Amino acid sequence: MTRATLCAGYRSRLETLYRCESKSLRAWLVRRVGHDAAEDLAHDVFLRAARCAQLCDLHNPRGFLRRIARNLIIDGVRRQHQMRSAVPLFESIDTATEPEQEAGLHERETFAAYESSLALLPARTALIFSMSRVEQKTYRQIGEELMITPATVEYHMMRALRCLRSRLAEARGDLVAARQI
């Protein structure tokens, strides 16, 4: 038997194997790894099968292809596990710290805008807001202490909150939120 007839028989066997088994192999892979990965894995299975010298002597071609597929899935899981467990040698040097610094900067800017907004409130409104939010007093307690009704306390609180929300939105550059207020 010449090399040309061996190659022709081998290629014919591979084509037959592909026509007969590719659809069921893809369905089998879809159930195990999902549709997106199944196509790539099926392609890799047939590439590995094409490199096998015993392709013409297979007794159970479906089992052969599924064994290759199983091995490829296991190899993929191992690779993913190794990639997740790989940690840079100098982790503290390699990681970026800008988001942390930026968050601190935003926090300081927001607090400064909050303090300046409180300073712009009318004295009575600022006092009522402070009693409610800082001293944790109820509207009734504030009303009794200042000799005003709880409805008046609520009015001053809504006024303070509206003013603070507007000024903080402007400080953040959130013009849409500032317009809605």
In terms of pTM, does the model score above 0.75?
no
Q: What pLDDT sits at residue 129? A: 92
Q: How confident is the model at residue 170 (pLDDT cuts 50, 70, 90)?
A: confident
The mean of the pLDDT values for the chain is 81
How many CB atoms neighbour CB 102 within 10 A?
A: 10
Q: Looking at this protein, which amino acid is placed at residue 166? A: S
pLDDT category of residue 85 using cuts at 50, 70 and 90: low
Q: For residue 92, is pLDDT > 50?
A: yes
Asked if residue 177 has pLDDT above 70, the reply is: no
Say whether pLDDT at 176 is over 50.
no
- Using 50, 70 and 90 to split pLDDT, how confident is the model at 5? very low
Please tell me the distance from the alpha carbon of residue 146 to that of residue 129, in angstroms, as a whole number: 13
Q: What is the pLDDT of residue 154?
A: 94
| Contacts for 56 with CB less than 8 Å, ≥ 6 apart | 9, 10, 13
Asked if 109 contacts 171 with a C-beta cutoff of 8 angstroms, the reply is: yes
Single-letter code of the amino acid located at 10: Y
Structure tokens at 134: 């800082």
What is the per-residue pLDDT across 35-83, written as a single tens digit (0 to 9) for each?
888 888 999 998 988 888 787 778 888 888 899 999 998 988 888 877 7
pLDDT exceeds 70 at position 19: yes
For the ranges 26-40, 52-66, 99-113, the maximum mean pLDDT occurs at 26-40
